[in-house]
Structure 1
Amino acid sequence: MSGEPSCPFGGPAPEHSAEQAHRDFSRSLSYGDYLHLDELRSAHQPITDAHDEHLFIAIHHVSEVWLSLIVRELQAAMRLLDAGITDAPLKMLTRVVRAQEQLTAAWDVLKTMTPADYLQFRGAFGQASGFQSQNYRMVEFLLGNRNSTLLRPHEHRADLHRPLAAALHAPSVYDLTLRLLAARGLPVPAEVLQRDYAQPYQTNEAVLASWLSVYCDTETYWDLYELAEKLVDVEDNFRRWRFNHLTTVERTIGFKRGSGGTSGVGYLRGALDVVLFPELWDVRTQL
Protein backbone atom coordinates (compact mmCIF):
# COMPACT_ATOMS: atom_id res chain seq x y z
CA MET A 1 0.00 0.00 0.00
CA SER A 2 1.31 3.45 -0.90
CA GLY A 3 -0.26 5.16 2.08
CA GLU A 4 -1.89 7.74 -0.20
CA PRO A 5 -5.60 8.42 0.36
CA SER A 6 -7.89 7.13 -2.37
CA CYS A 7 -9.72 9.77 -4.36
CA PRO A 8 -13.51 9.38 -4.50
CA PHE A 9 -13.63 11.13 -7.86
CA GLY A 10 -12.39 10.23 -11.31
CA GLY A 11 -12.80 6.47 -11.20
CA PRO A 12 -15.67 4.41 -12.53
CA ALA A 13 -18.84 4.56 -10.49
CA PRO A 14 -19.60 1.49 -8.37
CA GLU A 15 -21.96 -0.98 -9.99
CA HIS A 16 -24.88 -0.16 -7.69
CA SER A 17 -24.30 3.58 -7.52
CA ALA A 18 -26.91 6.15 -8.53
CA GLU A 19 -24.24 7.46 -10.88
CA GLN A 20 -25.15 4.58 -13.20
CA ALA A 21 -28.64 6.02 -13.75
CA HIS A 22 -29.45 7.67 -17.07
CA ARG A 23 -29.31 11.45 -16.72
CA ASP A 24 -29.61 12.95 -20.19
CA PHE A 25 -33.22 13.16 -21.39
CA SER A 26 -32.73 15.66 -24.17
CA ARG A 27 -33.45 12.91 -26.73
CA SER A 28 -35.44 10.37 -24.75
CA LEU A 29 -38.64 10.14 -22.74
CA SER A 30 -38.33 10.97 -19.05
CA TYR A 31 -40.58 9.78 -16.23
CA GLY A 32 -42.36 13.12 -16.13
CA ASP A 33 -42.76 13.22 -19.91
CA TYR A 34 -44.21 9.70 -20.03
CA LEU A 35 -46.79 10.39 -17.31
CA HIS A 36 -47.51 13.97 -18.44
CA LEU A 37 -46.87 15.16 -14.91
CA ASP A 38 -46.96 18.82 -15.92
CA GLU A 39 -50.55 18.38 -17.10
CA LEU A 40 -51.39 16.36 -14.00
CA ARG A 41 -50.07 19.05 -11.68
CA SER A 42 -51.79 21.77 -13.67
CA ALA A 43 -55.15 20.07 -13.04
CA HIS A 44 -54.71 20.61 -9.30
CA GLN A 45 -56.23 24.08 -9.01
CA PRO A 46 -57.89 24.95 -5.68
CA ILE A 47 -60.27 27.90 -5.87
CA THR A 48 -59.82 29.02 -2.26
CA ASP A 49 -56.92 29.45 0.12
CA ALA A 50 -58.21 26.70 2.42
CA HIS A 51 -55.46 24.22 3.30
CA ASP A 52 -57.70 21.14 3.09
CA GLU A 53 -59.01 21.91 -0.37
CA HIS A 54 -55.74 20.49 -1.64
CA LEU A 55 -56.52 17.20 0.10
CA PHE A 56 -60.09 17.23 -1.23
CA ILE A 57 -58.96 17.68 -4.83
CA ALA A 58 -56.14 15.14 -4.57
CA ILE A 59 -58.43 12.42 -3.19
CA HIS A 60 -60.99 12.96 -5.94
CA HIS A 61 -58.34 13.02 -8.66
CA VAL A 62 -56.86 9.76 -7.40
CA SER A 63 -60.32 8.20 -7.11
CA GLU A 64 -61.16 9.12 -10.69
CA VAL A 65 -57.98 7.44 -11.90
CA TRP A 66 -58.87 4.24 -10.02
CA LEU A 67 -62.45 4.38 -11.30
CA SER A 68 -61.17 4.77 -14.85
CA LEU A 69 -59.03 1.65 -14.41
CA ILE A 70 -62.00 -0.26 -12.97
CA VAL A 71 -64.12 0.69 -15.99
CA ARG A 72 -61.40 -0.50 -18.35
CA GLU A 73 -60.96 -3.83 -16.54
CA LEU A 74 -64.70 -4.47 -16.28
CA GLN A 75 -65.17 -3.80 -19.98
CA ALA A 76 -62.28 -6.11 -20.87
CA ALA A 77 -63.70 -8.87 -18.66
CA MET A 78 -67.16 -8.40 -20.15
CA ARG A 79 -65.89 -8.73 -23.72
CA LEU A 80 -64.37 -12.07 -22.81
CA LEU A 81 -67.49 -13.25 -20.99
CA ASP A 82 -69.55 -12.27 -24.03
CA ALA A 83 -67.28 -14.54 -26.08
CA GLY A 84 -67.92 -17.44 -23.70
CA ILE A 85 -64.55 -17.26 -21.95
CA THR A 86 -64.66 -17.74 -18.18
CA ASP A 87 -61.06 -18.09 -16.97
CA ALA A 88 -59.25 -15.00 -18.31
CA PRO A 89 -61.86 -12.52 -16.96
CA LEU A 90 -60.96 -13.61 -13.43
CA LYS A 91 -57.67 -11.72 -13.71
CA MET A 92 -59.47 -8.50 -14.71
CA LEU A 93 -62.05 -8.92 -11.96
CA THR A 94 -59.31 -9.55 -9.40
CA ARG A 95 -57.69 -6.31 -10.51
CA VAL A 96 -61.06 -4.58 -10.08
CA VAL A 97 -61.23 -5.88 -6.51
CA ARG A 98 -57.73 -4.62 -5.71
CA ALA A 99 -58.50 -1.21 -7.22
CA GLN A 100 -61.70 -1.06 -5.18
CA GLU A 101 -59.62 -1.59 -2.05
CA GLN A 102 -57.55 1.45 -2.94
CA LEU A 103 -60.69 3.50 -3.52
CA THR A 104 -62.09 2.51 -0.15
CA ALA A 105 -58.83 3.31 1.62
CA ALA A 106 -58.93 6.83 0.16
CA TRP A 107 -61.91 7.65 2.40
CA ASP A 108 -59.67 7.10 5.44
CA VAL A 109 -57.37 9.84 4.21
CA LEU A 110 -60.28 12.18 3.49
CA LYS A 111 -61.66 11.58 6.99
CA THR A 112 -58.72 13.51 8.40
CA MET A 113 -60.58 16.61 7.17
CA THR A 114 -62.84 17.93 9.94
CA PRO A 115 -66.24 19.62 9.42
CA ALA A 116 -64.67 23.01 10.19
CA ASP A 117 -61.95 22.33 7.59
CA TYR A 118 -64.53 21.47 4.93
CA LEU A 119 -66.69 24.51 5.62
CA GLN A 120 -63.78 26.75 4.66
CA PHE A 121 -64.20 25.86 0.98
CA ARG A 122 -67.40 23.82 0.55
CA GLY A 123 -69.45 26.75 -0.73
CA ALA A 124 -66.87 27.67 -3.36
CA PHE A 125 -67.53 24.80 -5.80
CA GLY A 126 -71.29 25.29 -5.98
CA GLN A 127 -73.24 22.27 -7.24
CA ALA A 128 -70.23 20.22 -8.27
CA SER A 129 -70.47 16.76 -6.72
CA GLY A 130 -69.11 13.25 -7.00
CA PHE A 131 -72.68 12.34 -7.92
CA GLN A 132 -71.78 13.71 -11.35
CA SER A 133 -68.76 11.44 -11.83
CA GLN A 134 -69.05 9.80 -15.24
CA ASN A 135 -66.55 7.11 -14.27
CA TYR A 136 -68.47 6.16 -11.15
CA ARG A 137 -71.76 6.08 -13.05
CA MET A 138 -70.19 3.86 -15.70
CA VAL A 139 -69.03 1.43 -13.00
CA GLU A 140 -72.57 1.29 -11.64
CA PHE A 141 -74.06 0.68 -15.07
CA LEU A 142 -71.55 -2.05 -15.92
CA LEU A 143 -72.29 -3.77 -12.61
CA GLY A 144 -76.02 -3.58 -13.29
CA ASN A 145 -77.31 -0.70 -11.15
CA ARG A 146 -79.52 0.84 -13.83
CA ASN A 147 -81.47 4.12 -13.58
CA SER A 148 -82.00 6.31 -16.65
CA THR A 149 -82.44 9.39 -14.43
CA LEU A 150 -78.76 9.17 -13.58
CA LEU A 151 -77.91 10.08 -17.19
CA ARG A 152 -79.27 13.59 -16.81
CA PRO A 153 -76.25 15.22 -15.15
CA HIS A 154 -74.27 14.32 -18.28
CA GLU A 155 -76.68 15.60 -20.94
CA HIS A 156 -74.60 18.75 -21.44
CA ARG A 157 -71.66 16.62 -22.64
CA ALA A 158 -72.37 14.26 -25.53
CA ASP A 159 -68.95 12.63 -25.11
CA LEU A 160 -69.91 11.63 -21.55
CA HIS A 161 -73.60 10.93 -22.12
CA ARG A 162 -73.24 8.70 -25.20
CA PRO A 163 -71.15 5.87 -23.65
CA LEU A 164 -73.26 5.90 -20.51
CA ALA A 165 -76.47 5.60 -22.53
CA ALA A 166 -74.95 2.71 -24.47
CA ALA A 167 -73.96 0.94 -21.25
CA LEU A 168 -77.43 1.50 -19.79
CA HIS A 169 -79.03 -0.46 -22.64
CA ALA A 170 -76.38 -3.19 -22.87
CA PRO A 171 -76.02 -6.37 -20.76
CA SER A 172 -74.31 -5.93 -17.40
CA VAL A 173 -71.51 -8.19 -16.21
CA TYR A 174 -74.15 -10.25 -14.39
CA ASP A 175 -76.36 -10.50 -17.48
CA LEU A 176 -73.40 -11.89 -19.40
CA THR A 177 -72.70 -14.35 -16.60
CA LEU A 178 -76.30 -15.60 -16.71
CA ARG A 179 -75.90 -16.18 -20.44
CA LEU A 180 -72.99 -18.48 -19.62
CA LEU A 181 -75.18 -20.44 -17.22
CA ALA A 182 -77.76 -20.89 -19.96
CA ALA A 183 -75.07 -21.94 -22.44
CA ARG A 184 -74.06 -24.69 -20.01
CA GLY A 185 -77.60 -26.04 -20.00
CA LEU A 186 -78.75 -24.52 -16.72
CA PRO A 187 -82.38 -23.31 -16.74
CA VAL A 188 -82.22 -19.53 -17.05
CA PRO A 189 -85.61 -18.23 -18.25
CA ALA A 190 -85.88 -16.43 -21.59
CA GLU A 191 -87.44 -13.41 -19.89
CA VAL A 192 -84.21 -13.02 -17.91
CA LEU A 193 -81.90 -13.44 -20.89
CA GLN A 194 -83.97 -11.12 -23.10
CA ARG A 195 -85.00 -8.54 -20.54
CA ASP A 196 -84.90 -4.75 -20.91
CA TYR A 197 -81.35 -4.08 -19.74
CA ALA A 198 -82.12 -0.44 -18.95
CA GLN A 199 -84.25 -1.65 -16.04
CA PRO A 200 -82.86 -2.86 -12.73
CA TYR A 201 -82.39 -6.62 -12.50
CA GLN A 202 -85.04 -8.47 -10.49
CA THR A 203 -84.45 -11.64 -8.48
CA ASN A 204 -85.59 -14.79 -10.28
CA GLU A 205 -86.26 -18.12 -8.58
CA ALA A 206 -85.17 -20.15 -11.61
CA VAL A 207 -81.86 -18.30 -11.69
CA LEU A 208 -81.44 -19.00 -7.98
CA ALA A 209 -82.07 -22.70 -8.66
CA SER A 210 -79.41 -22.63 -11.40
CA TRP A 211 -76.86 -21.10 -9.06
CA LEU A 212 -77.76 -23.68 -6.43
CA SER A 213 -76.88 -26.38 -8.97
CA VAL A 214 -73.52 -24.70 -9.52
CA TYR A 215 -72.75 -24.39 -5.82
CA CYS A 216 -73.85 -27.97 -5.08
CA ASP A 217 -71.66 -29.41 -7.85
CA THR A 218 -68.56 -27.24 -7.98
CA GLU A 219 -66.53 -30.01 -9.62
CA THR A 220 -68.74 -29.89 -12.72
CA TYR A 221 -69.22 -26.15 -12.72
CA TRP A 222 -65.93 -25.01 -11.22
CA ASP A 223 -65.40 -22.16 -13.70
CA LEU A 224 -68.88 -20.76 -13.11
CA TYR A 225 -68.50 -21.18 -9.36
CA GLU A 226 -65.17 -19.35 -9.38
CA LEU A 227 -66.64 -16.57 -11.52
CA ALA A 228 -69.61 -16.25 -9.15
CA GLU A 229 -67.37 -15.93 -6.11
CA LYS A 230 -65.29 -13.28 -7.88
CA LEU A 231 -68.45 -11.30 -8.61
CA VAL A 232 -69.34 -11.55 -4.92
CA ASP A 233 -65.89 -10.10 -4.14
CA VAL A 234 -66.62 -7.20 -6.47
CA GLU A 235 -70.01 -6.48 -4.92
CA ASP A 236 -68.68 -6.91 -1.39
CA ASN A 237 -66.03 -4.26 -2.04
CA PHE A 238 -68.57 -2.04 -3.77
CA ARG A 239 -70.69 -2.13 -0.61
CA ARG A 240 -67.69 -1.30 1.54
CA TRP A 241 -66.89 1.70 -0.64
CA ARG A 242 -70.47 2.94 -0.36
CA PHE A 243 -70.51 2.46 3.41
CA ASN A 244 -67.25 4.38 3.85
CA HIS A 245 -68.65 7.09 1.58
CA LEU A 246 -71.71 7.32 3.82
CA THR A 247 -69.76 7.54 7.08
CA THR A 248 -67.31 10.07 5.62
CA VAL A 249 -70.16 12.32 4.50
CA GLU A 250 -72.04 11.97 7.79
CA ARG A 251 -69.03 12.85 9.94
CA THR A 252 -68.15 15.79 7.67
CA ILE A 253 -71.49 17.48 6.93
CA GLY A 254 -73.97 15.56 9.06
CA PHE A 255 -77.43 15.53 7.48
CA LYS A 256 -77.01 18.59 5.25
CA ARG A 257 -78.02 18.21 1.61
CA GLY A 258 -75.31 17.13 -0.79
CA SER A 259 -73.75 19.77 -3.03
CA GLY A 260 -75.17 17.95 -6.07
CA GLY A 261 -78.74 18.28 -4.81
CA THR A 262 -79.35 14.85 -3.25
CA SER A 263 -80.44 14.47 0.36
CA GLY A 264 -76.88 13.53 1.25
CA VAL A 265 -76.70 10.88 3.97
CA GLY A 266 -80.30 9.76 3.32
CA TYR A 267 -79.58 9.15 -0.36
CA LEU A 268 -76.38 7.26 0.45
CA ARG A 269 -78.15 5.07 3.00
CA GLY A 270 -80.74 4.14 0.40
CA ALA A 271 -77.94 3.18 -1.99
CA LEU A 272 -76.66 0.65 0.55
CA ASP A 273 -79.81 -1.40 -0.01
CA VAL A 274 -79.05 -1.96 -3.70
CA VAL A 275 -78.10 -5.58 -4.42
CA LEU A 276 -76.33 -6.11 -7.74
CA PHE A 277 -76.15 -9.91 -7.93
CA PRO A 278 -79.04 -11.03 -5.69
CA GLU A 279 -79.04 -14.76 -6.39
CA LEU A 280 -75.33 -14.99 -5.57
CA TRP A 281 -76.18 -13.84 -2.06
CA ASP A 282 -79.46 -15.76 -1.73
CA VAL A 283 -77.87 -19.06 -2.74
CA ARG A 284 -75.97 -19.11 0.55
CA THR A 285 -79.22 -19.48 2.45
CA GLN A 286 -80.29 -22.35 0.20
CA LEU A 287 -77.13 -24.42 0.58
Structure 2
Amino acid sequence: MSSTPPDLTPPDLGVSSDVERATTASVTGGGPLLDFEGHSTPYIDYQSIDVLLSLQHPRSQAPSEPTFYILGQVKELLFKLVYEEMVRIRGLLEQDRVPDAVWALRRSRRVLELLVGCWDVLGTLAPTEFNAFRDHLGKASGFQSYMYRMVEYVLGNKVAELARPHRNVPHVNDAVQEALHSPSVYDAALALLARRGADIPREHLQRDFSLPYEPSAHVERAWAEVYRAGDPTDPAFLLAEALMDVAEAACRWRAVHLLTVERVIGFKPGTGGTHGVAWLRRISEHRFFPELWAARGLL
Protein backbone atom coordinates (compact mmCIF):
# COMPACT_ATOMS: atom_id res chain seq x y z
CA MET A 1 0.00 0.00 0.00
CA SER A 2 1.30 3.48 -0.87
CA SER A 3 1.92 6.09 1.81
CA THR A 4 -0.99 8.20 0.55
CA PRO A 5 -4.35 6.99 -0.74
CA PRO A 6 -4.90 7.37 -4.50
CA ASP A 7 -7.14 10.15 -5.80
CA LEU A 8 -10.22 8.37 -7.09
CA THR A 9 -12.58 11.34 -7.08
CA PRO A 10 -15.56 10.36 -9.26
CA PRO A 11 -16.80 12.69 -12.01
CA ASP A 12 -19.57 15.17 -11.29
CA LEU A 13 -22.91 13.62 -12.26
CA GLY A 14 -25.04 16.68 -11.70
CA VAL A 15 -28.43 16.36 -10.04
CA SER A 16 -31.90 15.44 -11.27
CA SER A 17 -35.31 16.39 -9.93
CA ASP A 18 -38.60 14.46 -9.84
CA VAL A 19 -39.82 16.65 -12.71
CA GLU A 20 -36.78 15.80 -14.84
CA ARG A 21 -37.16 12.09 -14.10
CA ALA A 22 -40.84 12.19 -15.06
CA THR A 23 -39.94 13.96 -18.32
CA THR A 24 -37.30 11.34 -19.11
CA ALA A 25 -39.76 8.50 -18.44
CA SER A 26 -42.27 10.08 -20.82
CA VAL A 27 -39.60 10.24 -23.52
CA THR A 28 -38.50 6.62 -23.05
CA GLY A 29 -42.07 5.36 -22.73
CA GLY A 30 -41.24 4.08 -19.27
CA GLY A 31 -38.31 1.95 -20.37
CA PRO A 32 -34.66 2.42 -19.40
CA LEU A 33 -32.31 4.93 -20.99
CA LEU A 34 -30.07 3.09 -23.43
CA ASP A 35 -27.93 5.80 -25.00
CA PHE A 36 -25.41 8.03 -23.21
CA GLU A 37 -22.83 10.53 -24.37
CA GLY A 38 -19.16 10.02 -23.65
CA HIS A 39 -17.30 6.83 -22.78
CA SER A 40 -19.13 5.73 -19.63
CA THR A 41 -22.58 5.46 -18.07
CA PRO A 42 -23.99 7.38 -15.09
CA TYR A 43 -24.13 4.18 -13.03
CA ILE A 44 -20.49 3.30 -13.68
CA ASP A 45 -19.51 6.83 -12.71
CA TYR A 46 -21.74 7.00 -9.62
CA GLN A 47 -20.50 3.73 -8.11
CA SER A 48 -17.00 3.79 -9.66
CA ILE A 49 -17.87 0.33 -10.93
CA ASP A 50 -15.00 0.15 -13.41
CA VAL A 51 -12.53 0.92 -10.60
CA LEU A 52 -14.23 -1.48 -8.17
CA LEU A 53 -14.23 -4.40 -10.62
CA SER A 54 -10.59 -3.80 -11.55
CA LEU A 55 -9.39 -4.48 -8.00
CA GLN A 56 -9.59 -8.29 -8.04
CA HIS A 57 -6.14 -9.85 -8.45
CA PRO A 58 -6.12 -13.48 -7.25
CA ARG A 59 -2.61 -14.86 -6.82
CA SER A 60 -3.17 -18.40 -8.11
CA GLN A 61 -5.05 -20.25 -10.81
CA ALA A 62 -7.23 -22.07 -8.26
CA PRO A 63 -10.89 -21.69 -9.32
CA SER A 64 -11.94 -21.34 -5.68
CA GLU A 65 -9.70 -18.34 -4.92
CA PRO A 66 -12.03 -15.66 -6.40
CA THR A 67 -14.68 -16.66 -3.82
CA PHE A 68 -12.23 -16.07 -0.99
CA TYR A 69 -10.77 -12.94 -2.58
CA ILE A 70 -14.01 -11.16 -3.44
CA LEU A 71 -15.75 -12.05 -0.18
CA GLY A 72 -12.75 -10.57 1.63
CA GLN A 73 -13.24 -7.31 -0.24
CA VAL A 74 -16.98 -7.37 0.46
CA LYS A 75 -16.23 -7.72 4.18
CA GLU A 76 -13.90 -4.72 4.06
CA LEU A 77 -16.62 -2.56 2.47
CA LEU A 78 -19.10 -3.68 5.13
CA PHE A 79 -16.59 -3.00 7.91
CA LYS A 80 -16.27 0.53 6.55
CA LEU A 81 -20.04 0.92 6.58
CA VAL A 82 -20.34 -0.35 10.15
CA TYR A 83 -17.55 1.94 11.34
CA GLU A 84 -18.99 5.04 9.72
CA GLU A 85 -22.45 4.24 11.05
CA MET A 86 -21.09 3.78 14.57
CA VAL A 87 -19.26 7.10 14.43
CA ARG A 88 -22.51 8.73 13.37
CA ILE A 89 -24.45 6.95 16.12
CA ARG A 90 -21.90 8.12 18.68
CA GLY A 91 -22.54 11.68 17.53
CA LEU A 92 -26.29 11.22 17.76
CA LEU A 93 -25.98 9.97 21.35
CA GLU A 94 -23.76 12.92 22.22
CA GLN A 95 -26.58 15.16 20.95
CA ASP A 96 -29.21 13.23 22.96
CA ARG A 97 -30.90 12.14 19.73
CA VAL A 98 -31.73 8.70 21.06
CA PRO A 99 -34.53 7.71 18.61
CA ASP A 100 -32.26 8.53 15.66
CA ALA A 101 -29.43 6.53 17.22
CA VAL A 102 -31.72 3.54 17.83
CA TRP A 103 -32.90 3.63 14.22
CA ALA A 104 -29.30 3.63 12.95
CA LEU A 105 -28.33 0.83 15.34
CA ARG A 106 -31.13 -1.32 13.91
CA ARG A 107 -29.72 -0.82 10.43
CA SER A 108 -26.17 -1.54 11.62
CA ARG A 109 -27.33 -4.85 13.01
CA ARG A 110 -28.53 -5.80 9.53
CA VAL A 111 -25.13 -4.93 8.09
CA LEU A 112 -23.48 -7.15 10.69
CA GLU A 113 -25.83 -9.94 9.66
CA LEU A 114 -24.58 -9.53 6.09
CA LEU A 115 -21.06 -9.95 7.44
CA VAL A 116 -22.10 -13.19 9.12
CA GLY A 117 -23.50 -14.29 5.77
CA CYS A 118 -20.05 -13.84 4.22
CA TRP A 119 -18.77 -16.65 6.45
CA ASP A 120 -21.66 -18.83 5.32
CA VAL A 121 -20.39 -18.50 1.75
CA LEU A 122 -16.74 -19.01 2.69
CA GLY A 123 -17.74 -22.11 4.64
CA THR A 124 -18.59 -23.77 1.33
CA LEU A 125 -14.88 -23.96 0.48
CA ALA A 126 -13.68 -27.52 0.96
CA PRO A 127 -10.28 -27.87 2.69
CA THR A 128 -8.72 -28.99 -0.58
CA GLU A 129 -10.12 -25.93 -2.38
CA PHE A 130 -8.69 -23.54 0.19
CA ASN A 131 -5.36 -25.35 0.32
CA ALA A 132 -5.07 -24.93 -3.45
CA PHE A 133 -4.32 -21.22 -2.98
CA ARG A 134 -3.60 -20.76 0.75
CA ASP A 135 0.18 -20.70 0.34
CA HIS A 136 -0.18 -17.68 -1.97
CA LEU A 137 -1.48 -15.61 0.97
CA GLY A 138 2.03 -15.56 2.45
CA LYS A 139 1.70 -13.75 5.80
CA ALA A 140 -1.49 -11.93 4.77
CA SER A 141 -4.32 -12.41 7.27
CA GLY A 142 -7.69 -10.87 7.98
CA PHE A 143 -6.25 -10.09 11.41
CA GLN A 144 -4.43 -7.25 9.62
CA SER A 145 -7.68 -5.61 8.49
CA TYR A 146 -7.48 -2.02 9.67
CA MET A 147 -11.17 -1.39 9.00
CA TYR A 148 -12.09 -4.30 11.26
CA ARG A 149 -9.70 -2.99 13.92
CA MET A 150 -11.44 0.38 13.72
CA VAL A 151 -14.81 -1.36 14.12
CA GLU A 152 -13.54 -3.08 17.27
CA TYR A 153 -12.27 0.24 18.60
CA VAL A 154 -15.46 2.20 17.93
CA LEU A 155 -17.43 -0.58 19.65
CA GLY A 156 -15.13 -0.33 22.66
CA ASN A 157 -12.61 -3.17 22.46
CA LYS A 158 -9.51 -1.01 22.88
CA VAL A 159 -6.34 -3.08 22.59
CA ALA A 160 -3.63 -0.60 21.60
CA GLU A 161 -1.02 -3.17 20.58
CA LEU A 162 -3.29 -4.48 17.83
CA ALA A 163 -2.81 -1.16 16.01
CA ARG A 164 0.90 -1.95 15.53
CA PRO A 165 0.60 -3.69 12.12
CA HIS A 166 -0.45 -0.36 10.59
CA ARG A 167 2.24 1.92 12.06
CA ASN A 168 4.24 2.06 8.80
CA VAL A 169 1.26 3.05 6.64
CA PRO A 170 0.76 6.73 7.54
CA HIS A 171 -2.77 7.44 6.31
CA VAL A 172 -3.98 4.10 7.69
CA ASN A 173 -2.20 4.52 11.02
CA ASP A 174 -3.70 8.00 11.48
CA ALA A 175 -7.23 6.64 11.05
CA VAL A 176 -6.60 3.66 13.34
CA GLN A 177 -5.08 5.85 16.05
CA GLU A 178 -8.01 8.25 15.88
CA ALA A 179 -10.41 5.34 16.38
CA LEU A 180 -8.29 4.04 19.27
CA HIS A 181 -8.19 7.35 21.14
CA SER A 182 -11.80 8.42 20.53
CA PRO A 183 -14.75 7.49 22.76
CA SER A 184 -16.59 4.37 21.71
CA VAL A 185 -20.29 4.26 20.97
CA TYR A 186 -20.66 2.59 24.38
CA ASP A 187 -18.82 5.48 26.05
CA ALA A 188 -21.33 7.82 24.43
CA ALA A 189 -24.22 5.70 25.69
CA LEU A 190 -22.87 5.78 29.27
CA ALA A 191 -22.40 9.54 29.11
CA LEU A 192 -26.02 9.84 27.97
CA LEU A 193 -27.21 7.71 30.91
CA ALA A 194 -25.21 9.93 33.26
CA ARG A 195 -26.82 13.07 31.83
CA ARG A 196 -30.17 11.45 32.54
CA GLY A 197 -29.32 10.88 36.18
CA ALA A 198 -27.83 7.38 36.20
CA ASP A 199 -25.08 6.58 38.71
CA ILE A 200 -22.16 6.25 36.30
CA PRO A 201 -18.74 6.56 38.03
CA ARG A 202 -16.73 9.61 37.01
CA GLU A 203 -13.76 7.42 36.09
CA HIS A 204 -15.91 5.84 33.38
CA LEU A 205 -16.81 9.20 31.92
CA GLN A 206 -13.48 11.02 32.14
CA ARG A 207 -10.75 8.60 31.24
CA ASP A 208 -8.14 7.70 28.64
CA PHE A 209 -10.36 6.20 25.94
CA SER A 210 -7.42 4.36 24.37
CA LEU A 211 -7.23 2.05 27.41
CA PRO A 212 -9.28 -1.15 27.74
CA TYR A 213 -12.71 -0.60 29.26
CA GLU A 214 -13.10 -1.93 32.81
CA PRO A 215 -16.63 -3.13 33.68
CA SER A 216 -18.33 -1.56 36.71
CA ALA A 217 -21.00 -2.80 39.09
CA HIS A 218 -22.40 0.77 39.08
CA VAL A 219 -22.86 0.66 35.31
CA GLU A 220 -24.37 -2.82 35.54
CA ARG A 221 -26.95 -1.56 38.04
CA ALA A 222 -27.64 1.50 35.89
CA TRP A 223 -28.58 -0.68 32.92
CA ALA A 224 -30.65 -2.93 35.18
CA GLU A 225 -32.59 0.16 36.30
CA VAL A 226 -33.22 1.07 32.67
CA TYR A 227 -34.90 -2.30 32.22
CA ARG A 228 -36.81 -2.17 35.51
CA ALA A 229 -38.11 1.36 35.00
CA GLY A 230 -38.58 1.27 31.27
CA ASP A 231 -41.08 -0.12 28.84
CA PRO A 232 -40.92 -0.85 25.11
CA THR A 233 -41.60 2.83 24.34
CA ASP A 234 -38.92 4.26 26.67
CA PRO A 235 -35.95 5.67 24.67
CA ALA A 236 -33.35 4.34 27.15
CA PHE A 237 -34.91 0.86 27.03
CA LEU A 238 -34.93 0.92 23.23
CA LEU A 239 -31.31 2.07 23.21
CA ALA A 240 -30.28 -0.76 25.54
CA GLU A 241 -31.92 -3.37 23.31
CA ALA A 242 -30.56 -1.81 20.10
CA LEU A 243 -27.05 -1.88 21.56
CA MET A 244 -27.56 -5.51 22.54
CA ASP A 245 -28.67 -6.31 18.99
CA VAL A 246 -25.37 -4.94 17.69
CA ALA A 247 -23.31 -6.66 20.41
CA GLU A 248 -24.97 -10.00 19.73
CA ALA A 249 -24.53 -9.66 15.96
CA ALA A 250 -20.83 -8.90 16.45
CA CYS A 251 -20.51 -11.99 18.65
CA ARG A 252 -22.24 -14.07 16.01
CA TRP A 253 -19.73 -12.81 13.44
CA ARG A 254 -16.86 -13.97 15.62
CA ALA A 255 -18.51 -17.31 16.40
CA VAL A 256 -19.24 -18.15 12.76
CA HIS A 257 -15.73 -17.00 11.84
CA LEU A 258 -14.37 -19.53 14.34
CA LEU A 259 -16.57 -22.34 13.01
CA THR A 260 -15.71 -21.55 9.39
CA VAL A 261 -11.96 -21.56 10.04
CA GLU A 262 -12.18 -24.80 12.00
CA ARG A 263 -14.22 -26.39 9.21
CA VAL A 264 -11.87 -25.27 6.43
CA ILE A 265 -8.35 -25.56 7.94
CA GLY A 266 -8.88 -27.46 11.18
CA PHE A 267 -6.26 -26.67 13.82
CA LYS A 268 -3.47 -25.46 11.55
CA PRO A 269 -1.66 -22.20 12.46
CA GLY A 270 -3.03 -19.06 10.84
CA THR A 271 -1.23 -17.26 8.02
CA GLY A 272 -0.72 -14.16 10.19
CA GLY A 273 1.18 -15.80 13.05
CA THR A 274 -1.61 -16.98 15.36
CA HIS A 275 -2.45 -20.53 16.40
CA GLY A 276 -5.57 -20.21 14.27
CA VAL A 277 -8.65 -21.71 15.87
CA ALA A 278 -7.21 -21.48 19.39
CA TRP A 279 -6.72 -17.72 18.97
CA LEU A 280 -10.18 -17.23 17.51
CA ARG A 281 -11.79 -19.26 20.29
CA ARG A 282 -10.19 -17.03 22.91
CA ILE A 283 -11.19 -13.74 21.34
CA SER A 284 -14.71 -15.00 20.63
CA GLU A 285 -15.33 -15.00 24.40
CA HIS A 286 -15.07 -11.19 24.53
CA ARG A 287 -18.35 -9.26 24.81
CA PHE A 288 -18.94 -5.72 23.64
CA PHE A 289 -20.94 -3.54 26.07
CA PRO A 290 -20.25 -5.95 28.97
CA GLU A 291 -22.59 -4.51 31.61
CA LEU A 292 -25.55 -4.82 29.26
CA TRP A 293 -24.94 -8.57 29.28
CA ALA A 294 -24.27 -8.75 33.00
CA ALA A 295 -27.34 -6.66 33.89
CA ARG A 296 -29.55 -9.57 32.87
CA GLY A 297 -28.42 -11.38 36.00
CA LEU A 298 -29.83 -8.59 38.18
CA LEU A 299 -33.34 -8.72 36.72
Give the TM-score normalised by the residue count of structure 1.
Answer: 0.90
What is the alpha-carbon root mean square deviation over aligned residues? 1.8
Whether 1:68 aligns to 2:80 is: yes
- 1:32 positional shift: 2.2
* Aligned ranges 1:154-173 → 2 under 5 Å: 154-173=166-185
* Map of 2:8 onto structure 1: none
Contact 1:214-1:221 within 8 A present in 2 as well? no
Q: Tell me which of 170, 178, 183 is aligned to 2:190.
A: 178
> Residue by residue, what CA displacement relative to the aligned partner does 1:149-181 show, whole Å, maximum 9, x if unpaired?
111111121111112112211211111111011
Whether 1:211 aligns to 2:223 is: yes
* Map of 1:22 onto structure 2: 33
Contact 2:112-2:250 within 8 A present in 1 as well? yes
- 1:33 positional shift: 2.6
Q: Tell me which of 108, 114, 123 is aligned to 2:135.
A: 123
Task: Supply the AA of the counterpart residue of 1:90.
Answer: V
Whether 1:262 aligns to 2:278 is: no
* Map of 1:194 onto structure 2: 206
Aligned length: 272
- 1:220 positional shift: 11
Whether 1:140 aligns to 2:142 is: no
CA distance 1:230–1:19, change in 2 (3 Å): closer
* Aligned ranges 1:54-65 → 2 under 5 Å: 54-65=66-77
Task: Supply the AA of the counterpart residue of 1:173.
Answer: V
- Structure with greater Cα Rg: 1
- 1:70 positional shift: 0.8
Unaligned runs of 5+ in 1: 1-14
Contact 2:58-2:66 within 8 A present in 1 as well? yes
Whether 1:112 aligns to 2:109 is: no
Task: Supply the AA of the counterpart residue of 1:261.
Answer: G
Give the TM-score normalised by the residue count of structure 2.
Answer: 0.87
- 1:243 positional shift: 0.6
Contact 1:115-1:253 within 8 A present in 2 as well? yes
* Map of 1:82 onto structure 2: 94
Structure 1 Cα separation of the partners of residues 184 and 63 of structure 2: 41
Task: Supply the AA of the counterpart residue of 2:279.
Answer: Y
Structure 2 Cα separation of the partners of residues 46 and 139 of structure 1: 26
Unaligned runs of 5+ in 2: 1-25
Identity of aligned residues (%): 41
What SS does the corresponding residue of 1:258 show, helix, strand or coil? Answer: coil
